[in-house]
Amino acid sequence: MSTFTIGAATITRIEESYEPNFEATKFFAEWRGDVVERHREWMLPHHYDPASGKLKLSIHSWLVQVGGRTILVDACVGNDKPRPNRPLWHMMKTPYLDRLAKAGAKPEDVDAVMCTHLHNDHVGWNTRMQDGRWIPTFPNARYVFNRTDFEHFGSVDPDKQPGNAAAYKDSVKPIAEAGLADLVSGTHVVDEHLTLEPAPGHTPGTMFITLSSRGARAMFCGDILHQAIQIFHPEWNSFACEDQENARKSRRAVLERCAGSGALLMPTHFGAPFVCHVDAKGDAFVPRWA
């Protein structure tokens, strides 16, 4: 369990899974063998598995405790979710809620769930199965969704995006039907500590979240960056980026903001140590591991 302090805020990584899971050459069209050699010092063994040729991507949530509130950023894949198109995510059984409890939060303690976007590996724990139906996992929370993503994934073609269509049905729609969804657009100030801003590209409604406390900052970037190689190459998109041009623009904008503000970058899929600062290097960027 990794815990970080940002001003008066405590942020804890809640792991769901961490394993080699996507072939690097399929995940990034630009990936070549010499990439590993150039970046071996930081990439091995926590970010890439040379034996399988797969990226080692973590799937985790961030538990934020600040100002007397308990907030969960992103909600992973979830247990018991049918995802046959992704065998590693199909009908998962993980001790995610036990890990959350060890970090100091039971489901009923969570005040807000903020999903950076609505792909199936960011919304799954929004709901859990009980008596044959999907119910909100965090019954006292308000769930913050971007309106554009909510409308987009509500009508996505299940033949083209089977996992995301299924996730909307079992992990997003039940939240709206329970009256717990808050749909936001544009820049949305939650309180003195948290602000959500649009960064479209990976999905139409992707957001990043800035946490500010006592002069310190953290930025939760969701899938604006999947892997640290994108800090060096912000022009690299993953196969899952829906709008390639805007994904690149949003990625560079977030890196520039991070480098300029000193914020700690807190992605959802980076390998250990899971977070980093970002330094500008000419027109490029480099990670400075926390």
Residues of the chain with pLDDT > 90: what percent?
98
The Cα–Cα gap between 134 and 89 comes to: 17
Rounded to an integer, what distance in angstroms lies between the CA atom of residue 154 and that of residue 205? 13
For residue range 155-209, list pLDDT tens digits in order: 999 999 999 999 999 999 999 999 999 999 999 999 999 999 999 999 999 999 9
Q: Supply the DSSP string of 115-135, one letter for each residue.
A: -SS-STTTTGGGEEEETTEEE
Residue 7 belongs to what domain range? 3-289
Percent pLDDT > 70 in the chain is 100
Q: What is the pLDDT of residue 290?
A: 75
Q: In DSSP terms, which residues pair with 14 in a beta bridge?
A: 61
Tell me: pLDDT of 282 over 90.
no
CB burial readout 237-255, b (16+ within 10 A) else e:
bbebbbbeebbbebbebbb
Going by pLDDT thresholds of 50, 70 and 90, the confidence category of residue 1 is confident
Q: What is the CATH number of the domain that holds 99?
A: 3.60.15.10
244 near 202, Cβ under 8 Å? no
- In the block, which residue shows the tokens 């073609």? 157
pTM (2 d.p.):
0.96
pLDDT at 182: 98
Q: Write down the pLDDT at residue 33.
A: 87
Question: What is the tens place of the pLDDT at every residue in 71-125?
Answer: 999 999 999 999 999 999 999 999 999 999 999 999 999 999 999 999 999 999 9
Tally of structural domains, the chain? 1
pLDDT at 243: 98
Q: What is the pLDDT of residue 92?
A: 98
Mean residue pLDDT of the chain comes to: 97
Which residue, 44, 73, 81, is CA-closest to 222?
Answer: 73
Q: What is the pLDDT of residue 210?
A: 98
From residue 54, how far is each of 18, 88, 92, 210, 263 by CA, in Å? 12, 13, 20, 30, 29
SS3 184: strand
At residue 213, the pLDDT reads: 97
Tokens representing 236 are 């690299």
Terminal Cα-to-Cα distance of the chain (whole angstroms): 15
278-281's contacts with Cβ under 8 Å and 24+ in sequence apart are 278/231, 280/256
State pLDDT tens for residues 213-234. 999 999 999 999 999 999 999 9
| CA angle (178 as vertex; 173, 179 as ends), nearest 5 | 100
Separation CA 7–CA 241 (nearest Å): 33
Beta strands in 24-74 (DSSP E): 48-49, 54-66, 69-73
The pLDDT value recorded for residue 223 is: 98
